[in-house]
Amino acid sequence: MSSVSSTDDPILDTAPAAASGSGSSSLLVCLPSLAAEVLDQTLSTLSVAFAGEELLLATPDTIPEQKQWPQMKFITASSKRTDAGWVLDAEDYEFAAGVAAEHNAQSVLLLCGSASSLSAEALRSLVNCIRGQQIDLAVPRFTLGLNSGLVNAALLYPLTRALFAANARFPLPADAALSARMIQRLSATRQSVRAASASPLLWPVAEAAIAGYSIREVEAGEASPPRPQAEDFNTLFQSVAASLFADIEAKASFWQRFRSRPAPASETFLPSPSHASAGIEVDSEIAGMIDAFHLAQANLQEIWSLALPPQSRLALKKLSLEPVKSFAFDPHLWARIVYDFALAFRLRTLNRGHLLGAMTPLYLAWAASHLLAADNDHDRAERSIEATAACFELEKPYLLSRWRWPDRFNP
């Protein structure tokens, strides 16, 4: 992917994972607790990525005495959370900010569970964004399989793009490079929202956007981002959606004033399910997603009526009558539904756990529609994701209207 000039987009740029070796600088690398073999591989990759430079490395692990890493100064320190999670969380940012301030580090490379999967080239490129190009936040952009990252494609990416004008495909990163002021801002944000959860999520891309800080994506290729530990999907979905909606509520004064630039209408083209005339069987997983939606359509009308206006419920009813092979969730409808749930979350229309539980089968319906439209083709999948994000931008006035005058629809 070619670079986008910062004069075209003052917030986001996308850079290939190519690096120019720059001189040494005060770089802090923070690692979670890793298995011995993963730690060894990570340190080896770091030594290649930053050959000839001195690194300050904070890790909760003990480095074996027989292992010699002369360029690394180790700090045996750990945050309250020492395990390698699937994304960076508030504790990670707060811990890194404290170590960076103590050692006057101007650049921070914060690695999570995918520490060993990123190449030396990608790691170096992330850091070079901060050191050589005055970027405040650099995050990896992965090339995922068709069935991976669907919550990100359905919710995280389109909402971040529409509300904060940050076209970052993975706004909840597992690894990031940060400037000193970015890591301190995230730490301050963490302290201001310290609440019930011991390890709440923070949304660094949104935080950078409202601060006017620069963001850049670095191509990470097919490196595998960490997967959530074995956890019930419904619980995981509700946790991520709740954190995202809470962040949107907290930053409402920004995104209500900020005018995003909707994509051209041509980018909203959504591929139609190719199974409609193909006479082939639909994958059992996709069929199961649609079955879950049908079950919800029969049993969740009372809850949906508290969050969704009549026209959306009518559209869902029509969708439930579609044959499986031509099942297609209108991305404009999906965008409005997500906005409706974000508003219901803010208004506490009903218990938030019940609300987000009722949203899960709607997400599954979107995911099924997306996979049918993609039909195992990466180009079609990409068009579907971009069409969805573009529709969130186009439907932003709907959210603004509902947010400012929620009583216009009073269930």
Written as one string, the DSSP assignment of 6-19 is TTT-SSEEEE-S--
Question: Per-residue pLDDT tens for 50-79?
Answer: 998 889 999 888 887 767 788 899 887 766
Residue 248 has pLDDT above 80, yes or no: yes
Euclidean distance between CA atoms 227 and 335, whole angstroms: 26
State residue 2's pLDDT score.
Answer: 33
Question: Per-residue pLDDT tens for 213-238?
Answer: 999 999 987 766 667 765 688 988 99
> Are the CB atoms for 396 and 163 separated by under 8 Å?
yes
Which of 247-265 are b and which e, b meaning 16 or more Cβ less than 10 Å from the residue's Cβ? bbeebbeebeeeebebbee
Residue 3 has pLDDT above 70, yes or no: no
**Residue 406 identity (one-letter amino acid):** P
| Residues in contact with 386: Cβ distance below 8 Å, sequence separation at least 6, in sequence order | 263, 267
State residue 148's pLDDT score.
Answer: 85
Which DSSP string corresponds to 156-196? IHHHHHHHH----S-SS-SSEEEEHHHHHHHHHHHHHT--S
State residue 113's pLDDT score.
Answer: 64
Of the candidate ranges 13-17, 225-229, 245-249, the one whose mean pLDDT is the lowest: 13-17
Euclidean distance between CA atoms 139 and 129, whole angstroms: 10
Q: What is the mean pLDDT of residues 81-105?
A: 84
- Classify residue 314 by burial, with Cβ atoms within 10 Å: 0-12, 13-18, 19+: exposed
Q: How confident is the model at residue 14 (pLDDT cuts 50, 70, 90)?
A: very low
State residue 21's pLDDT score.
Answer: 41
% pLDDT > 70, the chain: 80
Residue 5 has pLDDT above 50, yes or no: no
> Are the CB atoms for 225 and 174 separated by under 8 Å?
yes
State residue 4's pLDDT score.
Answer: 32
Residue 13 has pLDDT above 70, yes or no: no
Whole-prediction pTM value? 0.87
State residue 75's pLDDT score.
Answer: 85
Q: What are the boundaries of each domain within the chain? A: 12-231, 262-408
The two tokens of residue 312 are 């959306």
Q: What is the mean pLDDT of residues 388-394?
A: 95
Cα distances (Å, whole numbers) of residue 92 to 29, 80, 84, 85, 186? 12, 9, 10, 10, 10
Of the candidate ranges 105-114, 312-321, 332-341, the one whose mean pLDDT is the lowest: 105-114
Strand order in the sheet with 27-30: 12-15, 215-221, 137-142, 176-179, 107-110, 27-30, 55-59, 72-76
Residue 408 has pLDDT above 60, yes or no: yes
SS3 147: coil
Architecture in CATH for domain 12-231: Alpha-Beta Complex (3.90)
% pLDDT > 90, the chain: 57
> Are the CB atoms for 223 and 117 separated by under 8 Å?
yes
State residue 12's pLDDT score.
Answer: 47
Helix axes 352-374, 284-299, angle to 10 degrees: 140
φ, ψ (nearest 5 deg) of residue 219: -65, 125
Q: What is the mean pLDDT of residues 79-87?
A: 66
Question: Per-residue pLDDT tens for 261-312?
Answer: 655 544 445 555 554 444 446 788 999 999 999 999 999 999 999 999 999 9
